[in-house]
């Protein structure tokens, strides 16, 4: 399998996309920290296609990895979803762990019976401080859980830490930012999954504008990263919208300027 380089992204089977995220107040200890963002594999029992992904992840180092939901697709897919989750968890090479939130396709039985594994820390709604880094993860599994998370966040805020929000629905991102998240990582849209040339997405299953189907966006003093995700739902294919795993690298520097004032778009993908 060809080795991944930024110049050959999406020309190889490895769906990795490298992005540098800058923040002016980044704690010194987070300079250069790398984060793998996995979202929306939509594992289905009749689609055993993720071994190549596990092989690619085994060759990709990162300081931590995050999952932002929809690991499975439909009721009955839970056993296969667990099999793939264990393969991916085994393959991931991280220093500080793997953290995740669930999505709307992840059934209650998957959450309680099949997803638990010591190698993946599934986060409850609220603010979670990593013990070995000046980094906090703000988890919002469901939009309706925002009030409860807000109360938990107010009680746990600490100075001198960067806060990254993990959400499935991009529409939850503004709420996460109001709770103090400087960077929010989201999935759910599949980048549109089916696009026309020029990145126009016909449907994103999101309350966000279709122009915000995927990419890096500047919203006030915060940044929103919407990943295209690894799988597909509804239709078993993608069009002009390849699968994606994003590898972010944190760096100290000025916040990026938006190229489009209507959407806050910094970089499309």
**1 domain-assigned:** no
Q: How many domains does the chain divide into?
A: 1
CATH of the domain at 147: 3.60.21.10
**Is the backbone of residue 199 left (phi > 0), alpha (psi -120 to 50) or beta?**
left
pLDDT, greater one: 81 or 212 = 81
pLDDT at 75 (0 to 100): 95
Tokens linked to 217: 């966006």
pLDDT tops 90 at residue 178: no
Q: Which domain holds residue 162?
A: 6-253
- Tokens encoding 230: 């690894």
Other CB atoms closer than 10 Å to residue 258's CB: what's the count? Answer: 16
The percentage of the chain sitting over the pLDDT mark of 90, rounded to a whole number, equals 59
Confidence of residue 85 (pLDDT cuts 50, 70, 90): very high
235, 193 contact by CB (below 8 A) = yes
The answer to whether residue 69 is domain-embedded is yes
Q: Which has the higher per-residue pLDDT, 259 or 109?
A: 109
**Residue 269 maps to a domain:** no
**Alpha helix positions (H), 34-168:** 51-58, 78-91, 108-109, 146-156
39: in domain: yes
**What are the CB-based long-range contacts (under 8 Å, 24+) for 78-83?**
78/107, 78/109, 78/110, 78/113, 78/114, 79/45, 79/114, 80/43, 80/44, 80/45, 80/48, 81/43, 81/110, 81/114, 81/115, 82/110, 82/114, 82/115
The pTM is what? 0.90
Q: Please determine, for residue 200, whether its predicted confidence score (pLDDT) is greater than 90.
A: no
Report if residue 259 sits inside a domain. Answer: no
In a domain, 264, yes or no: no
Residue 265 lies in a domain: no
Provide the pLDDT confidence category of residue 5 given band limits of 50, 70 and 90. Answer: very low
Residue 2: per-residue pLDDT:
33
Instruction: Supply the pLDDT for residue 141.
Output: 77
Identify the residue with better confidence: 186 or 140. 186
Report residue 148's pLDDT band, with 50, 70 and 90 as the boundaries: low
Please state, in angstroms and rounded to a whole number, the distance separating the CA atoms of residues 13 and 157: 41
Tell me, yes or no, whether 19 lies in a domain.
Answer: yes
Output 186 or 203, whichever has higher pLDDT: 186
């Amino acid at each position: 399998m060809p080795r991944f380089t930024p110049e050959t992204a999406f020309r190889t089977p490895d769906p990795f996309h490298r992005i540098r995220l800058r923040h002016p107040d980044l704690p010194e200890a987070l300079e250069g920290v790398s984060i793998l963002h996995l979202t929306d594999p939509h594992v289905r029992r009749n689609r055993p296609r993720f071994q190549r992904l596990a092989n690619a992840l085994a060759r990709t180092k990162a300081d931590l990895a995050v999952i932002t939901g929809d690991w499975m697709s439909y009721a009955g897919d839970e056993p296969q979803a667990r099999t793939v989750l264990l393969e991916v968890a085994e393959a991931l090479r991280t220093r500080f762990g793997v953290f995740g939130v669930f999505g709307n396709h992840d059934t209650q039985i998957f959450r309680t019976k099949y997803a638990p594994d010591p190698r993946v820390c599934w986060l409850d709604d609220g603010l979670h401080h990593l013990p070995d880094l000046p980094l906090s993860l703000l988890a919002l599994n469901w939009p309706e859980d925002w009030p409860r998370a807000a109360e938990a966040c107010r009680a746990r805020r600490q100075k001198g830490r960067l806060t990254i929000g993990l959400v499935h629905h991009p529409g939850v991102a503004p709420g996460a930012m109001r709770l103090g998240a400087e960077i929010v990582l989201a999935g759910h849209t599949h980048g549109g999954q089916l696009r026309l040339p020029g990145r126009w997405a016909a449907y994103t299953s999101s309350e966000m504008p279709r122009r915000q189907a995927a990419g890096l966006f500047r919203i006030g003093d915060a940044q929103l990263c919407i990943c295209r995700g690894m799988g597909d739902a509804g239709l078993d294919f993608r069009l002009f919208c390849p699968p994606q795993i994003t590898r972010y690298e944190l760096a100290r520097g000025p916040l990026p300027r938006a190229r489009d004032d209507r959407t806050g778009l910094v970089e499309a993908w």
